[in-house]
Homo-oligomer: A and B are copies of this chain.
Amino acid sequence: MIVTHSSSSALATLGEFGLISRITSGVVAHEGVITGIGDDAAVTVSPSGMHLLTSTDMLLEDVHFRRSWHDPYRLGRKSLAVSISDIAAMGGVPRRALLSLAIPSDLPLDFIDEIMRGFLAMASEHQVALIGGDTCASRSGLVISVTIMGEQHPDKIVRRSGAQPDDDIWVTGTLGDAALGLKLVERGFDSTQPPCSQPSGSAKQDSRSQSGSRSLSGVEGADALISRLLDPVPRVSVALALTEAGLPTAMIDISDGVLADYGHIAEQSGVGGSIIIDDLPLSSAFRSCPAHFPVLPHQMALSGGEDYELCFTAHRSNRQKIVDCVKKCGVAVTRIGIVSSCAGVVAVNQDGTPFSIRNEGFNHFT
């Protein structure tokens, strides 16, 4: 491929093939990977009778992440985690990944090393093999593109389209934490130190702060909220436990807020639904956050992006089975609403009156 600019960076000295060697030095062998990195294409084989699940995500600097917020180790972890989350949302077992990096000439080699350390740590936690990728120069910011492949028996795959009227609507974990974490880093909370080394409740104001003189000292659980944004945990074990038990009728991962993402289930299932805002699971860190944030907590929990929790529907006769099933996974599940037969998704208060919201998830182009 033709590259039309030059640089005198460490990257230039290392060269493309030196970089590829460096990037792939931590790659280990995996079952089913016949030929990994180094040929025109990777060669893999899946057990007979399995269907292949494939998804891809692209992360751009200053669109999806900022280097001033996101330490490279957690950026590497997240770049794979968001793709693994897609496989989990289909009830699949993540198996292989391809990683492409477009690298600006000013990026230190250490930064790339740390991205790879994070990426491969996340891969190792989920037994995912890195089998290929691409590297090239970027004139304007780091681009990370990940393709993930997973497997599942055809009769176990969980789609968005299976929700039935009167099913319960469930979510894993807690909602809104990542969106609140974003508010914290936007307001200057230092997120670049590993959580363990950052003094609890410390605060730093910098040029990115939008709140001017407001101090964030004393924000309890700030690290936890920021960690939800910068280092999301794909809910693979919960998804697989539920899937193996045949419990979800439809499932999706929550990347754009539960209201928008349940909306995809509703649309593709030809149903509607109501979400009871008082039932939305909120973390203690979220609840204890200062009230001066201009967005109502429930709105943030409904519409905030990047929680990467699961939203699924299930027959109401399976409530106890679901609670029992997820117990061993160490992740809470919460019923937050009911699937309805009429189109449209509404957020309601406990008494059934409509809850007023301002938007329904992120639009990438507005």
* List of B residues within 8 angstroms of A161 by Cβ: 39
Please state if B255 and A363 are interface contacts (CB–CB under 8 Å): no
* List of B residues within 8 angstroms of A11 by Cβ: 365
Q: Which residues of A149-176 are within 8 A (CB) of B? A: 149-150, 154, 157, 159-161
The chain B residue sitting closest to A131, CB to CB, is B54
The answer to the question of A72 belonging to the interface, with a C-beta cut-off of 8 Å to chain B, is: no
Most buried by B among A42, A87, A133: A42
The chain B residue sitting closest to A101, CB to CB, is B58
Q: Which of B40, B44, B102, B148 contacts A52 (CB 8 A)?
A: B44
- Size category of the binding interface on chain A: 35 or more
Please state if A16 and B55 are interface contacts (CB–CB under 8 Å): no
The chain B residue sitting closest to A100, CB to CB, is B58
The answer to the question of A24 belonging to the interface, with a C-beta cut-off of 8 Å to chain B, is: no
* List of B residues within 8 angstroms of A92 by Cβ: 41
Please state if B102 and A58 are interface contacts (CB–CB under 8 Å): yes
Choose, from A138-146, A199-207, A285-293, the stretch at the interface.
Answer: A138-146
* List of B residues within 8 angstroms of A3 by Cβ: 63-64, 362-365
Given contacts A63-B139, A154-B34, A160-B39, whether A362 and B55 have CB atoms under 8 Å apart is: no
The chain B residue sitting closest to A20, CB to CB, is B364
Docked pose: A91 CA to B86 CA in angstroms: 31
The chain B residue sitting closest to A10, CB to CB, is B365
Per-residue 0/1 for A44-77: is the Cβ within 8 Å of any B Cβ (1 yes, 0 no)? 1110100111111111101110100000000000
Q: Which of B9, B60, B64, B252 contacts A40 (CB 8 A)?
A: B252
The answer to the question of A105 belonging to the interface, with a C-beta cut-off of 8 Å to chain B, is: yes
The chain B residue sitting closest to A89, CB to CB, is B40
* List of B residues within 8 angstroms of A48 by Cβ: 48
Q: Which of B87, B145, B252, B365 contacts A105 (CB 8 A)?
A: B365
The answer to the question of A268 belonging to the interface, with a C-beta cut-off of 8 Å to chain B, is: yes
Please state if A100 and B56 are interface contacts (CB–CB under 8 Å): yes
Docked pose: A150 CA to B54 CA in angstroms: 13
Per-residue 0/1 for A339-366: is the Cβ within 8 Å of any B Cβ (1 yes, 0 no)? 0000000000000000000000011111
The answer to the question of A38 belonging to the interface, with a C-beta cut-off of 8 Å to chain B, is: yes
Q: Which residues of A64-110 are within 8 A (CB) of B? A: 64, 66, 82, 86-87, 89-90, 92, 96, 98, 100, 102-103, 105
Chain A positions near chain B (C-beta within 8 angstroms): 1-7, 9, 11-12, 14-16, 19, 34-35, 38-46, 48, 51-60, 62-64, 66, 82, 86-87, 89-90, 92, 96, 98, 100, 102-103, 105, 131-141, 143, 145, 147-150, 154, 157, 159-161, 182, 251-253, 255-256, 268, 305-306, 362-366
